[in-house]
Structure 1
């Protein structure tokens, strides 16, 4: 028997191997992003510097930190994104295996009845052949089809990883935003409770004055109407409070029925925040997960042009088999006949170039769309960041004005009550002042909430938060980033 390893390749195989390998299709390079040198004019409290990874610590609320840690570990959206990363990693391993020989063991039993014209004289009319063999085939990647496929798989895996980072950053921001909305609702409920207490006392005062003949029924009815107006704010606030608690439950991976939010750390006033470091626009694009995902999608689309282009050229495979043949099953080990073959196979879509070129054109169009999507993602990142800066500046201005308004309204209500108790002025002045006081206190609570939400929006726009998982590997799917 001639040994397989000593068998010379046919001249065609030798010529193909000597020709070397060429990778067709465009080579990818990251597109330049037209970013401004700076963010321009930023509001007070926003400045340059390294972006804080665990930005939520600036609020100094341990309950919020615990919720974000739990969400990054148990949130289902994070888990889904991590599973998609695992899928992309598996597909990448499969693509890399395409560069290696494939095959396996096979066994067959063939029974045939030979006709008279094909049966030698004296030979039996029925034959049986047993065969066991190891078959293999290997594609010689002469024009880079497999290499481009691997490039696309690598880029696709990178895109999935970036999307996972984006989900983590988004979940952290959503937990913080929902938490502050809940805290804001609690602050409004506290205002309602305090004003309700005051109005109940005012109503009792009016009723005593009416009994003494110093007030009339109209004054009493107005006092009662204001009290009921204040009380009527409670049901809607309670509904919003329950909805915020349920939203937090889903974010941290728990059922709404069994979830109890942690107690906030007093005091519940405006946080003493440090200056928010926002870096530079170039840093923003390097940090934003959606920009990274769009860039990796562009790399994958570019590599797939090469995959399609490779179909214009010959595809060469080497197939081989080595095994044993025997007419009896029990004779395979001892009396079996050794058999082998090695064969180069050439495939060339000479008659199908029209379809191949159509697929190339489609791949090029998809790459162009991916480039436009990348540019659009960059513009959207810059827009969201600028919007967040402007919202933060506006919320700060609004908060300062609401503080002044609440102080003035509270003092006006106090003076109106004193004047009425001293026999000066009408009770209508007291009602108007207390109504304005109630509205201004609620507006102040909303302004404080909006100011906190504006801080969250800045960090969400900056893409911060995901790198905590990458460093600690304590979050759902963090091991996929590290691999």
Structure 2
């Protein structure tokens, strides 16, 4: 037993200790980019504080909340991202297996007939051999090739998980945007129907005046032309509504032919939104999934440098076999059939050094590229955030002006009609006032939609929305229903 320890276990223990040495290649350190302390002077309505997780509840629209939950559970893009994460997790498990011994059972039978010249005297020319052995090999990871491979696979899985979170956040924002587009189009159609009804009444009044000789045919034609100008806007709005509804159906993983829109309640005059918390640029690093994905890709690229660098050093393995080898099945049970061996195998591709160094240089170039991509992603995130803040401020200011404009034009159109009926004005003034009223009321509906879309853009730029999917009771698996489990550490 002591001899067995000296010959087998002691060398293996020494190799195992050596395998715990530091791996070759650079050790990864997350980048620490210089960031501003705040987003600057935000527009009115924005402030510091933790970003709302379920930001869509800010709009107090139960139909929107239900649509987003349906999309998170059934969206095909989320399903694809979830499957890619599962693939990355499987690759990580496979990389970890490289740290463990490999091998299996081998059963064999050989029947061979030798020639007379090669057969010793008094020995049979026909030989049968039966084998039943267990083979095993273990790579002693002296220079960290396998450990760096695990490190790269873990980082790649983290990148895929971040991309999944990004898809979830993007889908939530796209659903909200499509819903508000539909509400806005509905509001424009309501304006068209309202103005069309008013124009029909106005045309009827002009026709009565023409019959009475108080107005001319020119006035009637102008009134009819304005009515058709209003009515012609309806088909294009209907087309846009159908296209937006189809896009929403696809986001929810449903066919456009079977999708049914929830009931849309009339728009409020002014959207009441409590103060929107936007956090800080430092918090943006953790919230933006594309930044996290880029950082994890940089970590994976750095680890692959070590994988390639290990090719400059010897590959040390321990191989062994234990089993029975005999000339007949009956002899397999005897002690004489026991066969065993164990020994190290060292391979060193000294002639491939040039190729290995070329692969190392390529890995280093990919790591530098990943760092640039990370910096670019961060800059883009900061730019998108600033654009969203400014768009929100502009949308709020525009909406306020549109409200005043629409109120003034509506009153001007009413007074113009009264003056004309009283014989105090020209019908041309009525036509111009009603045309302006129609345009301003449609512009007001668009401004309301733009304000809501600006809020959605803020939360999308901040990376909000995916945190809800980390809650166990929420189904955010996408089309395949796969649960979102954290990546194994």
Q: What is the TM-score of this pair, normalised by structure 2? A: 0.95
- Select the residue among 479, 482, 485 that pairs with 1:480: 485
| Preserved contact between residue 409 and residue 436 of structure 2 (Cα < 8 Å) | yes
Q: Which residue of 2 is the match for residue 174 of structure 1?
A: 174
- How many residues align? The count is 482
* Paired residue secondary structure (2:341): strand
Partner-residue secondary structure (3-state), 1:169 = helix
Within a 5 Å distance, the mapping from 1:453-468 to structure 2 comes to 453-468=453-468
- 2:157 and 2:110 map into 1 onto residues whose CA distance is 46
Work out the CA distance in 1 between the residues paired with 2:431 and 2:203. Answer: 11
CA contact (8 A) 1:326 1:335 kept: no
- SS of 2:228's partner is helix
Return the alpha-carbon distance in structure 1 between the equivalents of residues 428 and 23 of structure 2.
86
Equivalent in the alignment of 2:406: 406
Aligned partners of 2:89 and 2:487 also within 8 Å: no
Match of 2:323 in 1: 323
Shift of 1:55: 0.5
Q: Does 1:374 align with 2:396?
A: no
Matching residue of 1:88: 88
Mind listing any 5+ residue stretches in structure 2 that lack a counterpart? none
In 2, distance between residues paired with 1:111 and 1:464?
A: 70
Quote the residue 2:470 is aligned against: 470
Whether 1:102 and 2:111 are equivalent positions in the alignment is no
- Correspondence for 1:276: 276
Q: What is the distance in 2 between the residues matched to 1:39 and 1:451?
A: 20
Change (3 A) 1:321 1:219: same
* C-alpha distance in structure 2 between counterparts of 1:5 and 1:464, whole Å: 62
Give the secondary-structure state (helix, strand or coil) at the position aligned to 1:481: coil
Task: Give distance in 1, aligned partners of 2:351 and 2:253.
Answer: 56
Over 6 Å off, 4+ runs: 10-15
What is the aligned partner in structure 1 of residue 196 from structure 2?
Answer: 196
Distance 1:442 1:299 in 2: 51
**CA 10–245 in structure 1, closer or farther in 2 if over 3 Å, else same:** closer
Structure 1 residues 277 and 11: alpha-carbon distance in aligned structure 2, compared to 1, 3 A threshold = closer
Q: 1:82 touches 1:480 (CA, 8 Å); kept in 2?
A: no
Shift of 1:114: 1.6
**What's the counterpart of residue 209 of structure 2?**
209
Map 1:330-345; keep pairs closer than 5 Å. 330-334=330-334, 337-345=337-345
Is the 2:98–2:146 Cα contact (8 Å) retained in structure 1? yes
Q: Please give the TM-score of this superposition, normalised by the length of structure 1.
A: 0.96
Q: Which moved more, 1:210-219 or 1:322-331?
A: 322-331
User: Is 1:29 the equivalent of 2:19?
Assistant: no
Determine the structure 2 residue equivalent to 1:301.
Answer: 301
In structure 2, the residue corresponding to 1:271 is in which secondary structure? coil
Going from structure 1 to structure 2, the CA distance change for 1:14 and 1:414 (only over 3 Å counts) comes to: closer
TM-align CA RMSD: 1.9
Larger mean CA deviation between 467-476 and 142-151 belongs to 467-476
CA contact (8 A) 1:61 1:264 kept: no
Q: CA deviation at 1:255?
A: 0.7
